[in-house]
């Protein structure tokens, strides 16, 4: 199994509070991604990183920010959580380039009340 760890695995937070989700990899892969998965929408890309301090937006980036200060860690922050951000969040990694095979963490279930 690819060495990807997401934390926390479950979180309940209140509307308006900031939340940070962490993704840690031991594979030294260049690319890291944050997706959210919701019924009827599948996996939607929030942000991705192609190297330390190199990040870019995905299709649903509003309300989210990311940081990657080390190769192994990719943080996703919800600046002010809203109920619409209740979802399951997945981190994924890939070698990058023409090889888009991705390896996923186990997910974080976030509930915003």
For binding to another protein (CB under 8 A), which residues are involved?
31, 33, 35, 40-43, 45, 48, 50, 58, 90, 92, 94, 96-107
Cβ nearer to another protein, comparing 38 with 79: 38
Query: 96-103 — which CB contacts under 8 Å span 24+ positions?
Result: 96/29, 96/30, 96/31, 96/50, 102/33, 103/2, 103/4, 103/27, 103/29
Min separation Cβ 13 and another protein, Å: 20
Cβ nearer to another protein, comparing 48 with 72: 48
Min separation Cβ 63 and another protein, Å: 20
């Amino acid at each position: 199994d690819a060495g990807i760890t997401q934390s926390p695995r479950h979180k309940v937070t209140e509307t308006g509070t900031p939340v940070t989700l962490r993704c840690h990899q031991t594979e030294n892969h260049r690319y890291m991604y944050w997706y959210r998965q919701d019924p009827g929408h599948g996996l939607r890309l929030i942000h991705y990183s192609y190297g330390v301090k190199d990040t870019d937006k995905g299709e649903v980036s509003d309300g989210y920010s990311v940081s990657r200060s080390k190769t192994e860690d990719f943080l996703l922050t919800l600046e002010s959580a809203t109920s619409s951000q209740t979802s399951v969040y997945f981190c994924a990694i890939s070698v990058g380039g023409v090889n888009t095979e991705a390896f996923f963490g186990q997910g974080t279930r976030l509930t915003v009340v």
